[in-house]
Chain A
Amino acid sequence: SQWGEENLQALSIQEGEDVTMNCSYKTYTTVVQWYRQKSGKGPAQLILIRSNEREKRSGRLRATLDTSSQSSSLSITGTLATDTAVYFCATERSSAGNKLTFGIGTRVLVRP
C-alpha cells in the first residue's frame, strides 16, 4: 500500500493477470483520484471516486473507497503490457484550490 514516506512499491505480473493496489490516506477527503504515469510522461487521471461512492468502474478499472478506514484500492483486470506504469492515488484537500496530496506510487510491470 502506498502513502507517506514508504518506499515505492513494485509489482511484477504476467499479462492477463489481475492486479490490485492499495492506498491509505491520513486526512479527511471527499475525493480520491487515481493517476497513471508512464515512463517519461506526465501523470494522467484514470478514475475519480467521491466519498459518497463505495465503488466506481471504468472499463478494466475498478476503484473502491472506504472512508471509515481512509483507504482506497485500484484494480485492473486482464492486464496488458501497456498497463506498465506507476500508479498514484491522490486525495483532494478540503481547502480551496483543488490541491491534491499524492501517494508515492506503485510501480507495476506487466510482462508480455
Chain B
Amino acid sequence: EAAVTQSPRNKVAVTGGKVTLSCNQTNNHNNMYWYRQDTGHGLRLIHYSYGAGSTEKGDIPDGYKASRPSQENFSLILELATPSQTSVYFCASGEKGYEQYFGPGTRLTVL
C-alpha cells in the first residue's frame, strides 16, 4: 500500500530558529509536494519536486526551502522560523494525472 510518512508529527519552535520537516515515501513516485493548511485557505503548495536533486517553488515559497536528496525523501526547511509559519504541514507524493498520497501531517507551532 502507498505510504507517506512525516516526522516529527508535532513541533514547537522558537522565533528565529531553524526547523526541518522530513517526509519519506515508499511509493516510488517521482513527484513530491509540501503543503501547508490553514483555516480558510485549504491546502497551499509551498515547494515540490520532480525527482531526486530537483526542487521547485510552489505558490507560497517565501520563508521556506526544500531539499530532495533521494527519490524517497523530501524535506522542508524553515531557516528562520516566524510565528506566521505556525500551521499544519502535509507532504504528498504522486504522478501526473493520478492521485496524490498524503502523509499524516506535522503540526508546527512557532512561539
Contacts and interface: CB of A to CB of B under 8 A. Distances in A.
* Chain B associates with chain A: yes
Interface of A: 7-8, 30-31, 33, 40-45, 48, 88, 92, 96-100, 102-105
Given A42-B90, A88-B42, A104-B41, A97 B100 contact: no
Contacts of A105: 42
B62 interface: no
Instruction: Tell me whether chain B's interface is mostly helix, strand or loop, or mixed.
Output: strand
Nearest to B100: A100
A41 B56 contact: no
A55 B37 CA distance: 29
A102 B58 contact: no
Given A8-B39, A41-B104, A97 B31 contact: yes
Contact of B40 (A8, A48, A98): A8
A98 B31 contact: yes
B100 A98 contact: yes
Given A102-B43, A104-B41, A97 B105 contact: no
Interface of B: 4, 31, 33, 35, 39-45, 48, 50, 56, 58, 90, 92, 94-105
Contact of A98 (B58, B96, B105): B96
Contacts of A31: 97
Given A41-B105, A43-B102, A98-B94, A88 B50 contact: no
B43 A97 contact: no
A42 B105 contact: yes
A44 B99 CA distance: 9
A7 B56 CA distance: 29
Given A41-B105, A42-B105, A43-B102, A98 B42 contact: no
